Structure formats: structure tokens, C-alpha cells
Amino acid sequence: MYDVIIVGAGPGGATAAYCLGEAGKRVLVIEKDTLPRYKPCGGGLSLRMLEQVFPFSFDEVIEARVRTATFALGQREIRVPLPERGLATVRREKFDAHILAHAKADVRTGAAVRKVTERDDRVSVQTSDGAVYEGRYLIGADGAKSVVARDLGLRRGHAQAAAIEAEVPVAPELMARFGSDMTFIFGEIHEGYLWIFPKTDLLNVGIGGFHPQRGELQATLARVMARYGIPVDKSRWHGHPLPYYTHREPISTARALLVGDAAGLVDPLTGEGIRLAIKSGRLAAQAILAGSPEQYPKMIYRQIGMCHLWGLGLAHVFFQFQRAFFRLGVLNPLAARAFADMLADRSDYPATILTVIGSFPMYLLTEGIAALAGLLGGQARRDRVRSFVYAGD
């Protein structure tokens, strides 16, 4: 009899295992694949968040430290500096295993979960090799197609977007261009965006969208990456769902809690999943340790879900009017900086939205004054006006 059984060894499951093991609980982690295993994922995450959750270093599994974020639409590109120790990229096969290696837990790999049964005083898990394990509580960290959610009747009507990604070896000049930058490309697909993220020796590129037409993601990814000179045709493409939270579907029972993608906790605007999986894994562990698993949905709503609903609303509006938002939001240095802070986990959606709205009058006034200064004194004077307002130089 285990205190907690965790299905899935991704960031959410490994984080829960670490927190529970540190508290002295007897924990079992069941992972269907043999570790380490490849997972399709852009791999972007906040270093600040890692430092807040874990007392150990991640330096050995960091692929690239990201210094800037570039937002592109058509021929226009805006590059925004990121906070020091803000963002980095990882490869999931190394990152997930690194967290799990620090967890005081039994680990069973290479056998998929076939059936989950919840009783009044325990939960039993049957795997594909015929083994049956029992625990007082269960954490489902088994992704968007969660077997735990299926068997326990959770998130049956869940909403999800779709994504395709590939990891592409590129020439040294392309690595020099993108090696410390996260690029977000808008205006190429109606309700979505493309990305270019650096790893140590390659680029992770991809596209995600809410309601893509058949073949739209593949065709758009190939077309846009060809424009950037990135040869995706020679790399293997991976498709995966992006489940998002709407606060309507249950994410727990009396003895089972869903975390990460299983709970739909993917950022609705950026598609990011690692940060929210780690946060939800820690919250699930805290709820179990407090003897109050029934409080878990409220904890998720207060600390993650409420912001996600703001983000979901922003995503639908943003993607409907990408060009207008790019001009009024991304080209506004104050708003772009706020979005960069949100990526680095230094802000959230409500604060970012308020910054965009609140800075809009100053942005219009500054651009008007800068334009007048440019007419009277040339480009140098226009740049000085903008630098004085936006950077305080």
C-alpha cells in the first residue's frame, strides 16, 4: 500500500513525487515509457519558477539561456530584452528525468496503465504487464489523453487546441541568429502562432492553433520555416494536443487529482505547459499532505485557473485581431515588456492586460511627440524622445 501513486513521470508527476517524498510519504511513479524518453515540447520555461520550487540546480539540463524575445508579423519584428535568469529551454527527456532523480520514490517504467479503480479507502492501478498497485491517493499526470481521467470520469468534455513541432539541426549562422532568442510569429494562421526556440545544437520549431483546418498546420509550418531558411522537411514532425482549462470540467475525485496536461493546464495563449505542470504537481502534493484533497480544485482555480480564464479570453480576442494587437500591443514597448515579464513568470495575465490598457494613452502620446520631433529634428531626435519615455535614459 503506497501513500500516493503517480501515473506519469513528466514535470507534473515528477514534481509531485519530489514534494511528497521529501515529506516522508511512500510514493510510486508509473511511467509507460522507458526513461529517458522523447516528448514533443518547445521546452521553454521560467528559471525563476524553478528556483522557487526546487532547492537543487538545473544547470546540467539547461539547453539554452534566452536573452531576448522576438515578436514577428509579416515584415515587422520587435525584439524585447528579457530579465536576467528569466527564460531557458530544455529537452524533456533530460529535464523530466532530472526532477525524478531527486525524488524519493519507487519508479516503475515500461508498462502502461490499463485500468484505474477508486474505492472508499484506496485507489488501485492495473498495468499492461498484469501488475496491480494500490495507494491511498492517486495523481494523474499522464497527459492530454489521460487514462486516469478517462477511467474516473474526469474532463470528459475537455477543450483542446493542436500543435505540430520538430527539432531541426541548422547551419551555424542560424544558430548564431536564434541561439539566445525565442521567436513568436503571428499573422500566418487565423487562431494561432508559430515559434522558433533554441536548444544547444538545434532549433525547436512549431505551430499551434485553436481550430486548424485539415493540413493547415503542416502547410503553414513548412511555408514559414522555408522563409526563415530552416529546413523542416528533413526532420521528423510530432503532433500533440494542447488541452486548456475552462473551469467547467472536474479535475479531481475524493482520492484522485489531475495535474498538468491531464488537468488541461496548458497556457491558453502561449501553449506553455511545463511551468503549469510543475505548479499543479506541487499544489496536488500540498493538498494531499494537508489531508484536504477536496480543496485541490479551489487551489488550482485561485493560483492558476483564474489567470487562465483571463488568458483564454485574451487569446480569442488577440487571434481574431492579430494585426491590430501587434500594432497597439507588441509595438508598444511597455506592453511588450509586460508580456516578456509574464513569460518569465514575473507577472500574470490580469497584470499584463492592465498594463496594455493603461499604457495605451502614454504610447499614443509618446509616438505622436516622437513623430513631431522626427519631423523637426530628424530620426535621432525621434529616437531620443522614445528612449527617454520607454527606457528612462
Out of 286, 309, 332, a domain closes at: 309
Out of 245, 274, 309, a domain closes at: 309
Are residue 256 and residue 336 in the same domain, yes or no? no
Tell whether 90 is covered by a domain: yes
What pTM was estimated for this model as a whole? 0.89
Tell whether 317 is covered by a domain: no
* CB 348, CB 342: distance < 8 Å: yes
Strands 113-118 and 44-46, by their bridges, are unpaired
* CB 80, CB 68: distance < 8 Å: yes
d(CA 14, CA 27): 11
Tell whether 136 is covered by a domain: yes
With 50 as the cut, is the pLDDT of residue 385 above it?
Answer: no
Are residue 160 and residue 18 in the same domain, yes or no? yes
Mean pLDDT of 291-304: 94
Are residue 350 and residue 262 in the same domain, yes or no? no
Are residue 292 and residue 269 in the same domain, yes or no? yes
Per-residue pLDDT at 393: 40
Are residue 98 and residue 159 in the same domain, yes or no? yes
* CB 117, CB 7: distance < 8 Å: no
Per-residue pLDDT at 91: 94
Tell whether 319 is covered by a domain: no
Tell whether 23 is covered by a domain: yes
Domain with 124 in it: 2-309
Lookup result for grid cell 541561439: 179
Mean pLDDT of 295-305: 93
DSSP three-state, residue 62: strand
What tens digit of pLDDT does each residue of 123-147 get? 999 999 999 999 999 999 999 999 9
Strands 203-209 and 192-198, by their bridges, are antiparallel
205 φ, ψ to 5°? -125, 150
* CB 173, CB 78: distance < 8 Å: no
Are residue 377 and residue 239 in the same domain, yes or no? no
How confident is residue 325, by pLDDT bands cut at 50, 70 and 90?
A: confident
Handedness of CA 207, 13, 314, 80 (dihedral sign): negative
Per-residue pLDDT at 369: 61
Write the Ramachandran bin of 339: left for phi over 0, alpha for psi from -120 to 50, otherwise beta. alpha
Q: What angle do CA 216, 218, 222 make, to 5 degrees?
A: 115
What tens digit of pLDDT does each residue of 252-286 get? 999 999 999 999 999 888 888 999 999 999 999 99
d(CA 27, CA 308): 30
* CB 152, CB 19: distance < 8 Å: no
Handedness of CA 108, 112, 114, 116 (dihedral sign): positive
Beta strands in the chain (DSSP E): 2-7, 27-31, 44-46, 62-66, 68-73, 76-81, 87-90, 106-109, 113-118, 123-127, 132-140, 159-168, 181-186, 192-198, 203-209, 237-244, 256-258
Are residue 111 and residue 139 in the same domain, yes or no? yes
Are residue 192 and residue 131 in the same domain, yes or no? yes
Are residue 238 and residue 370 in the same domain, yes or no? no
d(CA 292, CA 281): 15
Out of 309, 341, 366, a domain closes at: 309
Per-residue pLDDT at 358: 79
Centroid of chain to Cα 242: 10
Tell whether 377 is covered by a domain: yes
Strands 106-109 and 27-31, by their bridges, are parallel
State the CATH number of the domain containing residue 131: 3.50.50.60
Residue 61's alpha-carbon distances to 55, 90, 293, in angstroms, are 15, 6, 32
Query: How many domains does the structure of the chain reveal?
Result: 2
d(CA 246, CA 320): 19
Tell whether 316 is covered by a domain: no
Are residue 296 and residue 332 in the same domain, yes or no? no
Tell whether 108 is covered by a domain: yes
Per-residue pLDDT at 380: 63
Q: If you ran DSSP here, which 8-state letter would residue 56 be given?
A: S
Are residue 277 and residue 229 in the same domain, yes or no? yes
Are residue 236 and residue 347 in the same domain, yes or no? no
Q: How would DSSP label each residue in 142-160? A: --TT-HHHHHTT-STT-EE
What tens digit of pLDDT does each residue of 66-82 get? 999 999 998 888 888 88
d(CA 63, CA 109): 25
